[in-house]
Amino acid sequence: MPERRTRRPDRRSKPAAARPARRAAEPRTDGPLLELEVGDVAHGGVFVARHEGRVVFVADAAPGERVVARVQDASKDRFWRADAVEVLEASPDRVPHIWAESGIDRDPIDRAGGAEFGHLRLGYQRELKGRVLADALSRFGGVEVAPAVEPVLVYEGAEDVGTGWRTRVRLHVDADGNVGPYAARSHRVVPVASLPLAVPAIERIAPLGQPFRGAEHVDLIAPSTGDAQIVVADARSSRSAPPTVDEIVAGRRFTVDRDGFWQVHRGAAETLYRAVQDAVDDALFDPRAANLDLYGGVGLLAGALLDRFGETVRLTTVEADARATEHAGTNLAGAVGVRAETARVDRFLQRLVEHPTAAERARLADATIVLDPPRSGAGREVVDLLAASGARQLVYVACDPVALGRDVGLLRAHGYELEEVRAFDLFPSTHHVEAVARLTRR
């Protein structure tokens, strides 16, 4: 299952050109079998092999392994896609898959998606994610850094084992009413008997094996306050204002729509909250400047700045989703210098930099800008506008290594340099990794 279950309008999916093309919705069951020597990890949770000079992206493998793989997509001249179906020589970092329904002993069309690194030792997963991030920053950003991927802050009594972390799970429903996750890289519903990535409260209420004929999907939600909930969506679902839930982060309460965006790992919000606080260089922070929180959602990272620098900080949080902006205004209501604005980030920045007065230009040049863009990253247009602002420092929260690398490269061309970057394993047993980077104006 994707790491971000519900998207705000600004959280668009990453363009296909920046990663290997997605597989067709229904994987083949009759593709040719190849014996392959597996090389290094690639972006997207697959591994690189070669067959007669052609690149083959192999799922469910590991670097150094020799596997038999079934080709699923041979439609591209430059590369094919395949799934490992037998391991001839195993990596020492291979372990029994944490999700039985995703294991290599199953036919690829029946493997549950959303745990593509679950067959690897947890520490090795993080090593691989670090390699992907370092490669993206080097290849696209022109900087040589190799941040270690840090575990998420876990609650007292919790073990860092790569399971039991998801507080939001979406199960899909097929035409026959069967409920389950999608199979890996497809839209085929796979009935399962377990949800090992989910927090225990979700596992207890998950309606696995129950028919949901006529439903579109079933959401399982376990907020940090209140009981876990099952939400069944169908064509008759109400279009009125959705119910809300409350999340507590570092003692601060955030109201969010029940089906709105929130970090899915139970410790992710607080991890990012503290990482952003740590990333801001206080020597460069001016509380009276035109500080910004872009793609701000319900105000999580704005709250982090307020808790570090005080409730009188001048700060505008910008979000395209009107409901999220409404919640941000409420969540940050005690701060006298905060304004929550509903706007697309590119349009907001365009207005800001187009015709500023001398005083406005000075306040913007002294600003700290926090941005948490969609998986596609900020992109060239927003980067150009950020550079035009002349802000002192940018704190960039990224959920895609390639998008971050590209945007770091674009910002460096405008005179910003990457000062530090940290990486966090917000999605254990998947290929996803989050990074927090600080860039400063030369």
Binding residues for S-adenosyl-L-methionine: 263, 295, 319, 372
Residue with tokens 């209140």: 226
Amino acid at 41: V
Check 152, 399, 421, 423 and give the catalytic one.
Answer: 399
Q: Which residues are annotated as a binding site?
A: 263, 295, 319, 372
Strands 368-371 and 393-398: what pairing? parallel
399 classed as catalytic: yes
**437: amino acid identity, one letter:** A
Are 94 and 64 a contacting pair, CB within 8 Å? no
Which own/partner pairs from 20-26 qualify as long-range (CB within 8 Å, at least 24 positions apart)? 20/44, 20/46, 20/57, 20/79, 20/81, 21/73, 21/76, 22/185, 23/72, 23/73, 23/81, 23/185, 23/186, 24/72, 24/73, 24/186, 25/186, 25/187, 25/188, 26/109, 26/186, 26/187, 26/188
3-state secondary structure of 38: strand
CA 351 to chain CA centroid, Å, is 29
For 13-19, the CB contacts below 8 A with 24+ separation are: 13/374, 13/375, 13/376, 14/374, 14/375, 14/376, 14/377, 14/400, 14/402, 14/403, 15/376, 18/376, 18/402, 18/403, 18/406, 19/43, 19/44, 19/402
Q: Give me the torsion for CA of 9, 202, 212, 115, rounded to 10°.
A: 70
Alpha-carbon distances of 87 from 36, 61, 66, 68, 154, rounded to whole Å: 10, 8, 6, 6, 34
Return the active site residues. 399
